[in-house]
């Protein structure tokens, strides 16, 4: 069974570990029977009316679970990890759903979350058939956590921050090296050619394939004949690290 596990709002402006890294570390600690298929980062809007720490991103871990394993055990492990590593003052949310249980309304919720402010009430109403938990502070993280699950199920949004041996690949490689680990390579030039297996991908010191059609796809641009470079590079750290004002904490337990 494939499980989507959404996380959001786990840090504050002083945190050494953002949500993406927190989820990556969780994925590295999965017990036998649970296999990390990938982690997708999703961008949510940086709007004045939406409280967020710095980048307003959430993350979804894609986990393949053996038939004799329990989703509830996975949830308990995630809750324990969040309780141990979330920053004081954060508003963490957790969403767990089997891939088959992510219905169109949840996908639509994720799509809306990329352009508008949504509410906890809307999140809870949308997620009635799956597991959604607020784990501290205002519990606002349930919004981004559900959005991460919906957008991952959509399959056309976000980028992989963890996938197989992605972080062990060299800076210069061949297209077939990416194909071998399950990453497709697609040109996004105006008049694109097809990156061939023997072509070179250069300057790939930081690659985060996009989630396209439910699969990891590296977007590249042509440098010269037979040579490609990633279309997107790592951006500088967000300059505005000040946390947006949030309402006073009113809830501390789980919301389901």
Q: Per CATH, the architecture of 2-159 is what?
A: 2-Layer Sandwich (3.30)
The segment(s) of the chain belonging to CATH 3.30.70.2200 are 2-159
163-183 pLDDT, tens digit each: 999 999 999 999 999 999 999
The per-residue DSSP string of the chain comes to -EEEEEEE----TT-SS-HHHHHHHHHHTPPTTEEEEEEEEEE----TTS--SSS-EEEEEEEEE-TTS-HHHHHHHHHHHHHHHSPTT---EEEEEEGGG--HHHHHHHHHHTTS---HHHHHHHTTTSEEEE-STT-THHHHHHHHHHHHHH-SS-EEEE-TTGGGS-SSEEHHHHHHTT-EEEE-SSS--PPPTTSEE-S-SS---EEETTEEEEEEEEEETTEEEES--PPPPPS--PPPP-PPP---S---
Of residues 17 and 62, more confidence is placed in 62
pTM listed for this prediction: 0.87
Confidence of residue 256 (pLDDT cuts 50, 70, 90): very low
pLDDT exceeds cutoff 80 at 237: no
């Amino acid at each position: 069974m494939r499980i989507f596990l959404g996380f959001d709002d786990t840090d504050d402006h002083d945190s050494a570990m953002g949500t993406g890294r927190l989820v990556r570390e969780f994925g590295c600690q999965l017990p036998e029977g649970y296999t990390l298929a990938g982690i997708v980062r999703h961008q949510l809007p940086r709007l004045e009316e939406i409280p967020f720490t710095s980048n307003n991103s959430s993350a979804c871990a894609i986990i393949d679970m053996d038939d004799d394993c329990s989703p509830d055990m996975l949830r308990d492990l995630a809750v324990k990890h969040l309780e141990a590593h979330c920053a004081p003052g954060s508003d963490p949310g957790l969403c767990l759903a089997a891939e088959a249980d992510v219905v169109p309304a949840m996908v639509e919720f994720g799509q809306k979350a990329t352009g508008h402010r949504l509410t906890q009430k809307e999140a809870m109403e949308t997620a009635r058939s799956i597991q959604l938990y607020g784990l501290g502070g205002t519990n606002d993280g349930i919004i981004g956590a559900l959005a991460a699950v919906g957008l991952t199920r959509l399959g056309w949004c976000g980028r992989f921050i963890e996938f197989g041996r992605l972080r062990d690949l060299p800076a210069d490689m061949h297209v077939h090296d990416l194909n071998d680990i399950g990453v497709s390579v697609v040109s996004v030039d105006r008049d694109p050619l097809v990156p061939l297996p023997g072509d070179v991908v250069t300057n790939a010191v930081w690659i985060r394939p996009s989630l396209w059609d439910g699969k990891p796809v590296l977007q590249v641009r042509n440098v010269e004949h037979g040579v490609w470079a990633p279309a997107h590079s790592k951006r500088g750290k967000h300059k505005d690290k000040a946390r947006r004002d949030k309402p006073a904490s009113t809830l501390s337990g789980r919301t389901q």
